[in-house]
Amino acid sequence: MSAIHPATAVATPTRRDNERKASKRTVLMCRPDFFTVVYRINPWMNPQLPTDTSLAVRQWEVLYQTYLDLGFEVHLIDPIDGLPDMVYAANGGFVIDNIAYGASFTYPERQPEGPAYMDWFGEEGFDVRMPKNVNEGEGDFLLVGDVILAGTGFRSHSNSHEELAAISGRKVVTLELVNPNFYHLDTAIAVLDPQPGHPNPNIAYLPSAFNEEGLAILRARFPDAILVTEEDASVLGLNSFSDGYNVVIAARAKDFERQLLERGYNPIGVDLSELLLGGGGVKCCTLELRR
C-alpha cells in the first residue's frame, strides 16, 4: 500500500540564489527493514563484513524525514523479506508522464523486485509498461531537462534505451560506464536541475566513470557541469537528489558540498554509511514519480 506523509517543516536554507528555485518533488521509498549483505553483485558488497539493519533503518529515516521537511510528497512501498536491496527504490523503474517503465534486473538476486514495483505502480494508477530488455530503472535513467541520459556497460542493456525512447517519446542519450565502482549512472552523475523543460539544466559528474565518447557528450551538453573528486565519488557523493535548490548528498562529500554552495545550491548532508555497504546512497533510495 502507499503511504503519503505531508511535510511537517521546511528546511532552513543556508544561502539563496535567485537562479535556484526549489520545486516540489514526489518520490517513492522503501524502508530497509530487511537490509543486509548476503551476496556480492557489486564492488561495494562484502558478505564477510557485518551489517546493522537497525542502523540502516535509522539512517534511512533521517533521509525520509529530510524529504518531508523539504515539502516532498513521499510514498512508501512495503519491503519484502528476502529482498534486502529493495531499499534501493530508484532501481524499481522509471516514471514519466504517468508511464511507469518497469525494471528487469541483471542479477537473479534482485529480479523479484521488478514485479513487486510494477505491482505497486499498477495499484497506484500508473500506466505500467512491462520491460522487454534488461534495465535497472532510475539507476541508469536520469531525466535532465527534456532529455534522458541513459547508462550502460554494467547493468542496463543499451537496447533498453531504445525501448525507453519509444515508450516515453523523449530523446535518450546513451553513456557508457567503464568503472565497476560506478556501475549505475546515478552513482556517476547528479542531476542538479530536475525540472522538465528547464532552460539550462546542469549536472555534476565524475569524468573517470565514462569512456571518451561519453565524456565528449557530457562536455558538449554540460559545459558548466560540476566535476567531482574521486574522493567524493567514492562515498557516492554523486548519488544525490535535488529539487533545484536543495541538494541532498552524502555527508562526507565535502568538496562537492563546497562546489554546490559556490553555485548557489543548498547542500544537505545525510549519513547513509550502512546502506553504502550494499552499494547505495541517497539517490538509490529515491525513485521520482512524475505524473
Decide if 174 contacts 150 (C-beta within 8 A). yes
What are the two backbone dihedrals, phi and then psi, of residue 231, each rounded to the nearest 5 degrees? Answer: -60, -45
Count other C-beta atoms under 10 Å from residue 237's C-beta.
Answer: 28
Q: Within 22-52, where are the H helices?
A: none
Residue with cell 523479484: 112
Reference 67, options 32, 17, 24; nearest CA is 24
Q: Of 30, 75, 161, 184, which is the active-site residue?
A: 184
Decide if 250 contacts 243 (C-beta within 8 A). no
Rg for the chain, CA atoms, rounded: 17
Residue 266 cell numbers, joined: 543548498
284 is catalytic: yes
Amino acid identity, residue 110?
R
Residue 57 cell numbers, joined: 533503518
Q: Buried (b) or exposed (e) across 277-286, using 16+ Cβ within 10 A?
A: bbbbbbbbbb
Helix (H) or strand (E) holding 269: strand 266-270
Q: Of 30, 75, 161, 284, which is the active-site residue?
A: 284
Q: What positions carry a catalytic annotation?
A: 184, 284
